[in-house]
């Protein structure tokens, strides 16, 4: 399984989530993105981000002010068929 590390320590809201979103776009479905952050607001932000986008927040930990989030990119939604005329 593919895993990518994104270090956004020192950045504040909304930059950690914005950078994670950009990184996830370039990853294949099912890939994992590990994000290291120091902004306490990122805890709430990543939970909301996962709920809104469908990416799975599969891991979270905190150690001495460093937050570690593990996101799994959602499967691409199936292409919608064009309506017949």
Catalytic residue status for 13: yes
Q: Please tell me which residue in 6, 11, 13, 57 is annotated as part of the active site.
A: 13
Give the 3-state secondary structure of residue 66: strand
Q: Which residue has the tokens 């909304």?
A: 14
58: left (phi over 0), alpha (psi -120 to 50) or beta: alpha
Give the active site residues: 13
């Amino acid at each position: 399984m593919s895993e990518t590390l994104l270090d956004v320590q020192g950045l504040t809201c909304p930059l950690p989530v914005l950078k994670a979103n950009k990184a996830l776009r370039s990853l294949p479905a099912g890939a994992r993105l590990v994000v290291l952050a120091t902004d306490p607001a990122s805890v709430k932000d990543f939970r909301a981000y996962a709920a809104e986008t469908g990416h799975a927040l599969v891991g979270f930990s905190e150690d001495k002010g460093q937050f570690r989030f593990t996101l799994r990119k959602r499967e691409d939604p199936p292409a919608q068929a064009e309506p017949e005329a």
